[in-house]
């Protein structure tokens, strides 16, 4: 049983900005996801409170902003004994072909934010800066996970996979030793959780209010709506925009613990079921994506799933 509670907007100050404008979080709430024995796909349904929003100019991967930022407040992790991950991302919110693009933050000064993945981007734009959701967040929000039995697996570009194990308080790599709490779960993505017992995760945060470009990689990817409602219709999800007609497949993971899937295709216009019949969005029985669930997409090429915001600003 999914529980969802949404409250009205509350105000968060920009903790990383010395004199920036206050940042409004938007609609906040919580959603409880049940985890059956066997496991399920898990994807964040909220984002964390935005810590900066405003105009910027980008050149050579550096965003110059008018506000006075706290230097190094947005830096990625800097461990000597484990892989390092970004702690924040900058999302382009201005209109255009790059609207919704998520760029990992590497570092910042008082007036600049250095990002990765921005090759070829230049000029004026609008951005928001948001803390990443990571495995420690998932551990803190979970109840009933089994230490050193329950594991999460990420699907990376090039058909790469990474597995991490729950320790009772956080996560470690598959060597059962290297701390992995800082591992990022990207917006619109997720992981497969293998669970030895029934458990749950109660996610909290802010409802996404901006467009998001979710990467779909050649090979296998895990993608999911950033939506706590659980009423996203597959027929109108726009997932087909990231898929090749009749070739690429999007497999929704069942929530009964079997980790079996139901497969969908696209004809280039709408979504199709596994018999290649068009899904009718007006059919009361049209399939939906449950909160926190998503798809394993098998694609022949790289692309983006263009996700509209749950609630527009």
CA dist 116 and 62 (Å) reads 9
* Three-state SS at 158: helix
pLDDT at 13: 33
Q: CA torsion, points 311, 191, 220, 307, in degrees to nearest 10? A: 0
CB atoms near residue 285 (< 10 Å): 6
Q: Is 284 left (phi over 0), alpha (psi -120 to 50) or beta?
A: alpha
pLDDT at 110: 96
Task: Give residue 268's pLDDT band: very low, low, confident or very high (50, 70, 90).
Answer: very high
Task: Say if 234 falls within a structural domain.
Answer: yes
pLDDT at 310: 84
Q: Is 277 left (phi over 0), alpha (psi -120 to 50) or beta?
A: beta
pLDDT digits (tens, 9 = 90+) for 232-246: 999 999 999 899 999
Task: Say if 240 falls within a structural domain.
Answer: yes
pLDDT at 27: 86
Question: Which structural domain range is residue 289 located in?
Answer: 207-307
pLDDT digits (tens, 9 = 90+) for 23-64: 444 688 899 999 999 999 999 999 999 999 999 999 999 999
The residue-averaged pLDDT of 163-191 equals 98
pLDDT at 26: 67
The percentage of residues in the chain with a pLDDT greater than 90, rounded to a whole number, is: 87
pLDDT at 311: 78
pLDDT digits (tens, 9 = 90+) for 269-311: 899 999 999 999 999 999 999 999 999 999 999 999 999 998 7
As a whole number, the mean pLDDT across the chain is 91
CB atoms near residue 145 (< 10 Å): 23
- What is the total count of domains within the chain? 1
pLDDT digits (tens, 9 = 90+) for 69-82: 999 999 999 999 99
Residue with tokens 């990474």: 162
Query: Per DSSP, what are the bridge partners of residue 265?
Result: 272
pLDDT at 272: 97
Burial 207-216 (b: 16+ CB within 10 A, else e): bbbbbbbbbb
Provide the sign of the torsion angle of the four alpha carbons 80, 84, 88, 93, taken in this order: positive
Task: Give residue 313's pLDDT band: very low, low, confident or very high (50, 70, 90).
Answer: low
The percentage of residues in the chain with a pLDDT greater than 70, rounded to a whole number, is: 91
Task: Say if 246 falls within a structural domain.
Answer: yes
pLDDT at 312: 63
pLDDT at 123: 97
Residue of 306, 10, 22, 61 whose CA lies nearest to 187: 306
Task: Say if 312 falls within a structural domain.
Answer: no
Residue of 286, 285, 263, 258 whose CA lies nearest to 274: 263
pTM: 0.91
H or E segment at 152? Answer: strand 151-155
Task: Say if 181 falls within a structural domain.
Answer: no
Cβ proximity of 221 and 297 under 8 Å: yes
Task: Say if 266 falls within a structural domain.
Answer: yes
Task: Say if 44 falls within a structural domain.
Answer: no
Task: Give residue 86's pLDDT band: very low, low, confident or very high (50, 70, 90).
Answer: very high
CA dist 249 and 242 (Å) reads 10
Task: Say if 229 falls within a structural domain.
Answer: yes
pLDDT at 145: 98
Predicted confidence (pLDDT) at residue 18 exceeds the cutoff of 90: no
pLDDT digits (tens, 9 = 90+) for 206-235: 999 999 999 999 999 999 999 999 989 999
């Amino acid at each position: 049983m999914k529980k969802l509670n949404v409250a009205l907007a509350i105000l968060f100050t920009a903790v990383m900005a010395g004199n920036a404008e206050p940042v409004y979080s938007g609609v906040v709430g919580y959603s409880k996801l049940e985890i059956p024995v066997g496991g399920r796909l898990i994807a964040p349904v909220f984002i964390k409170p935005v810590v900066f929003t405003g105009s910027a100019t980008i050149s050579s991967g550096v965003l110059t902003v008018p506000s006075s930022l706290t230097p190094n407040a947005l830096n990625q992790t800097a461990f000597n004994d484990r892989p390092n991950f970004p702690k924040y991302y900058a999302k382009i919110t201005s209109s255009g072909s790059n609207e919704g693009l998520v760029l990992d933050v590497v570092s910042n000064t008082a007036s600049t934010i250095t990002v990765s993945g921005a090759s070829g981007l230049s000029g004026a734009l609008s951005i928001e800066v948001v803390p990443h959701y990571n495995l420690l967040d998932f551990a803190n929000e979970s109840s009933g996970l089994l230490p050193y039995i329950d594991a999460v697996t990420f699907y990376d570009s090039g058909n790469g996979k990474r597995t991490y194990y729950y320790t009772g308080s956080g996560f470690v790599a598959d060597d059962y030793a290297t701390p992995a709490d800082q591992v990022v779960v990207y917006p619109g993505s997720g992981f497969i959780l293998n669970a030895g017992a029934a458990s749950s995760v109660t996610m909290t945060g802010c409802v996404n209010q901006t467009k998001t470009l979710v990467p779909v990689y050649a090979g296998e990817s895990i993608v999911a709506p950033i939506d706590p409602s659980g009423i996203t219709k597959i027929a109108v999800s726009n997932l087909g925009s990231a898929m090749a007609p009749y070739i690429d497949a999007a497999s929704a993971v069942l929530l009964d613990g079997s980790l079996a899937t139901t497969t969908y295709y696209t004809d280039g216009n709408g979504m199709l079921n596994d018999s290649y019949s068009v899904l009718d969005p007006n059919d009361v029985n049209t399939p939906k994506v449950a909160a926190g669930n998503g798809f394993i997409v098998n694609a022949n090429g790289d692309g983006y799933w263009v996700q509209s915001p749950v609630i527009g600003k």
